[in-house]
Amino acid sequence: MKAVRIHEFGGPEVLKLEELPQPEAGPGELLIEVQAASANPVDYKIRKGDYPAVKADQLPIVLGRDIAGIVQKLGIGVSDFVEGDEVFTMLPQDRGAFAEWVAAPANVCALKPASLDMVQAASVPLAALTAWQGLFDHGGLKAGQRVLIHGATGGVGPFAVQFARAKGAEVFATASSDGIEFVKGLGAHRAIDYRAERFEDIVHDVDLVYDLIGGETEDRSWQVLKRGGALISTVHEPDAEKAAKAGVQASRYTAQPNGEQLREIARMIDAGEVKVTLDKVFPLASAAEAETHLENDHVRGKVVLTVGAQHR
C-alpha cells in the first residue's frame, strides 16, 4: 500500500510517499480501506521534531491521525461493525493515517455521519474530539455559562464554537477580520477581531476560556475570567501562579481517541446542529504541500487528503 512516512525530522521534504506492507486487523480491530485523511497541526509539529511525545528513535512513522474509510475485515472479537461499514476515526498515536489501509481499534471508530462524504468525514475526528473534550471533559462547560474561544477559524475552533452554542452557552470567539462573518455564521454571539479589538475590553466574567493560541493571548485572558472559572489550553501548560492569583482552574490536555464521543458528534452533524468546514483538499501524494498550506496559509476549517486508487 502507499503511505506517507518520515524517516527524520525536518522540512516538508522529509515526507516520503512509500510502498509499505498492508496492516492486519488484530483482535478487537478493524481493517479499514482509507478514502480520506485529514491534516492537523500535530502532523507538522511531529515532522519538525517539535512534538515531545514522538522522539527520533521512534522514526520512521506514518504521519496523520484522522481517517474515513470502509471496513474490509474484522479482527477477532469485533461485534459492533460489519464489513462494508463506512467509518471515521481518530487513530491512536502509534499508527498513521496518511496510508491506503489502517488497522484501528474498533472502540475508537464510529459510523461516519450519513450526511457527509468521505472527505468531509475525515475532517472531523481529531479537531471535533479536541473541542469536545476541551469544553466539556476538561472545561466542564454548562448551559447558560459564558465561554471565550481563542482561535475560532482553524481546525478545532469552528467545532468548539458550534458545540458550545449547541450546549446553550454564551459564546465569544476571537478571529482575524476576514474570519469574523464565518465565526458569527457558526453561532458565536460575539466574534472579536483579535487584530483590531482587545477581547479584554469586550468580554468579562467568563466561566471558561478555551485557548487554542497560548502566549500573550493566554496572558491577557486571566483578567476576563470569573473567580472559580477555568482556562483550558490545547497548546501549553498554563501558568499555575497566574491561575491561582485569578482564582481559576487551568490546565493543558491532549485529545484522546473516543468512539462514543464520535458517535454523538456524528449524530449532531446528521441532525444539522454542527456543520463541517473544509479549507482545501489535496491528493495523498501532495501531503507535504497540504501541510505547508495548513501551517502557513491562515486556514478556514480543515485540510484533507484524498486517499486510494480512485483518486490517483
Ligand X SMILES: NC(=O)c1ccc[n+]([C@@H]2O[C@H](COP(=O)([O-])OP(=O)(O)OC[C@H]3O[C@@H](n4cnc5c(N)ncnc54)[C@H](OP(=O)(O)O)[C@@H]3O)[C@@H](O)[C@H]2O)c1
In the complex, which residues of this chain contact ligand X (CB under 6 A)? 40-42, 45, 127, 130, 150-151, 153-157, 174-176, 179, 194, 212-213, 217, 234-235, 254-255, 298-299
In the complex, minimum distance from the CB of residue 179 to ligand X, in angstroms, rounded to a whole number: 6
Closer Cβ to ligand X, 214 or 259, answer by number? 214
Q: Which is nearer to ligand X, 169 or 299 (CB)?
A: 299
Residue of minimal Cβ distance to ligand X: 154
C-alpha cell at 31: 481493517
Instruction: Give min distance, CB of 126 to ligand X, in A.
Output: 6
Which cell is 57 given?
A: 528513535
- For residues 17 and 61, which CB has a smaller minimum distance to ligand X in the complex? 61
> Which amino acid, residue 196?
A
Amino acid present at 209: V
How far from the centroid of its chain's Cα atoms is residue 134's Cα? 11
Q: Which is nearer to ligand X, 40 or 100 (CB)?
A: 40
260: helix, strand or coil = helix
Closest approach of Cβ 154 to ligand X, in Å?
2
CB of 18 to ligand X, least distance (A): 25
The CA-atom distances, in angstroms, between 111 and each of 89, 159, 243 are 9, 19, 40
Report in angstroms how near the CB of residue 91 gets to ligand X at its nearest.
14
Neighbours of 102 (CB within 10 A): 28
Contact residues for 23 (Cβ-Cβ < 8 A; gap 6+): 31, 95, 101, 102, 103
The residue (of 55 and 312) whose beta carbon lies closer to ligand X is 55
CB of 83 to ligand X, least distance (A): 31
Q: Is the dihedral of CA 262, 268, 272, 275 positive or negative?
A: negative
Nearer to ligand X, 196 or 309 (CB): 196
* Separation in Å, CA 187 to CA 81, 97, 127, 190, 297: 34, 31, 18, 9, 24
